[in-house]
Structure 1
Amino acid sequence: MNDNDYSPPRVVLVTGPSGAGRSTAIRALEDVGFEVIDNLPLSFIPRLLASPHDHPIALGIDVRNREFSTAAVLDLIEGVEQEPNGRAEVLYLDCRPEVLAQRFSETRRRHPLSPDETPAAGIAREIDLLEPIKLRADALIDTSEMTPHDLKSEVQRQFSTNDADLSLSIQSFSYKRGLPRGLDLVFDVRFLRNPHWDAALRPLTGLDPAVQAFVVEDPRFAPFFDKVSDLVTFLLPAYAAEGKSHLAIGFGCTGGRHRSVTLAETMAKALADKGGQVSIRHRELERHGDDRRNGARTGSGA
């Protein structure tokens, strides 16, 4: 093969706190055609990705990796992104701290960051270390209420290399903190009237019906939503025909709590009702603990 014709393989970096299901996710990716490598020293990864490869690659990364640091992982992601055609998708397996503690208690394992202390101490340290990486994630799966079978099915649904259907990710965000990485389509909804200026709505979020009703009542909402929905529906088969397996759509507003959340929720429901495989996350609500449904959710229009 001519090096000039080489197209980098799909690369998925799998990470998350210990006990959240990273090993299960890695095995699920292997079952759908990924070559998986777990706990490779971080300095080896750029050389691995630079070599010609015929299969998509999944790399397991956690605090046990030699050379691990938050900055090193973020630098690795940036380095891959800067390569011609480079693309590293970050799959983050999340889980509530109390559930992680229960899992460690049941297995009687020691936490890698607190071998001589309680698992809870290590869990808190690890979650803090991984938070910047979590915020850079392309896909976030909360495993708190999942069995290993549930997690395997969800990972394979989102990352199957044989599935002709696009996996859709809808995100809301604040322009104050910049664009989330990995978005394919971005829509600015700051032109809609802002619930922030209504004292009764300000402490609420776009997950609340009252806020959603306020945003939807803006006379510009319906024509805007219809045009965006038509555009996305038009583009989906074109992207699928090009072999794209995942499409990320972002809605941004000033604070990322009201208008963008409302649009993301409304669009996710509309696409799921049409049979789309849809996951949704709200970046700013996750940061402030306001997402009462714990991060990314998945819908299906079945």
Structure 2
Amino acid sequence: MQLILITGLSGSGKSVALKMLEDSGYYCIDNLPTVFLPDIASYLCTEGNEKIAISVDVRGGPSIDALPQQLDALRAQGVDVRLLFLEAKQDALVKRFSETRRRHPLAISTLTVTEAISLEREMLARVGDLGHRIDTSDLNANALRNWVKTFVELDQSRVTLIVESFGFKHGIPLDADLVFDVRCLPNPHYDPVLRPLTGRDQPVIDFLLAHEEVEAMYLDIETYVARWLPCFIKDNRSYLTVAIGCTGGQHRSVYMAERLSKRFAGEQQVMVRHRELP
């Protein structure tokens, strides 16, 4: 049985992720108090359900604190448990609650939305490191669906190296473990012909390859990741996210992310993401 647990901050896209899994054939349960998790998983397994997705969060009460122990117990029973943790920046969450006019589950009379989000982030601090984290601050629903689909297809017995490009003007991804800044490199944005293209297009690649400092920067990043990746694997990490940022997240960071992902694809399980690209 494969069990996908979706958790994270309210307003971060858990409903979108759960709906996507439901459309993909998963038996889905929303807002389950984690105290019922072992019994529900056992029952659904005996009923013949092989693909299950369950959303758990602070709405289930203090039982969320027991999630680490419950994950260990389920895995000990041979269940393929995968935890997906969704989060977003404070201003993005406040904006979403404002636009939808929904009440935050912790926003009681004495707490504002901002305070409730901060409290929830604190309550879930331990849970975020248990699985795969996705920062949905700048993602549209379609991109999130694609990222979740890729996540469930990963081989959980191997470490996953995630290489993500982003634009600094939109903020650093919350899910990044290592961040590299390539804004000092020559910028194709200033060439009117290259501006509408991305770092995956050959004219942009040729432009960047023509500059020695681009090659030097790439080799430094590649050497650093190659040197320290075994240490992260030895530390029992399931995921390592390497984020590479330029100004807008269209050219330099995309080129670097694509090249780095191809470099390690033969050695590790690699996922490449481009946060700012459609």
Q: Give the alignment's TM-score, normalised by structure 2.
A: 0.60
CA distance in 1, matches of 2:223, 2:20: 44
User: Contact 1:91 / 1:140 at 8 angstroms: preserved in 2?
Assistant: yes
Cα deviation digits, residues 130-172 of structure 1 (max 9, x gap) = 12111111x222211122233223323433xxxxxx547xxxx
More helix, by proportion: 2
Alignment of 1:20-169 (within 5 A): 20-50=12-42, 51-52=45-46, 53-69=48-64, 71-83=65-77, 85-116=78-109, 117-137=111-131, 139-159=132-152, 167=154
Answering whether residue 173 of structure 2 is matched by residue 207 of structure 1, we say: no
SS for the counterpart of 2:5 is: strand
Per the TM alignment, residue 39 of structure 1 is displaced from its structure 2 partner at its CA by 1.6
CA RMSD for the aligned pairs? 3.9
Report SS of the residue matched to 1:184.
Answer: coil
Supply the AA of the counterpart residue of 1:80: L
1:184 aligned to 2:158?
A: yes
Give yes or no for contact 2:27–2:49 (8 Å, CA) kept in 1: no
- The answer for unaligned runs of 5 or more in structure 2 is 162-177, 183-215, 244-256
Higher relative contact order (CA 8 A, sep 6+): 2
Structure 1: segments with no counterpart, 5+ residues: 1-8, 160-165, 169-181, 188-204, 226-249, 281-296
- Asked if 1:11 corresponds to 2:3, the answer is yes
Distance 2:136 2:259 in 1: 24
Aligned structure 1 segments of 4 or more residues deviating by more than 6 angstroms: 271-274
Aligned length: 203
Amino acid in structure 2 at the alignment position of 1:29 = L
- CA deviation after TM superposition for structure 1 residue 267, in Å: 8.3
Contact 1:17 1:126 in 2 (8 A): yes
- How far did residue 13 of structure 1 move? 0.3
| Partner SS state of residue 27, structure 1 | helix
| % identity of equivalent residues | 27
Once residues 113 and 77 of structure 1 are traced to their aligned partners in structure 2, the CA distance between those partners, rounded to angstroms, is: 25
Q: 1:132/1:35 Cα in 2 relative to 1: closer, same or farther (>3 Å)?
A: same
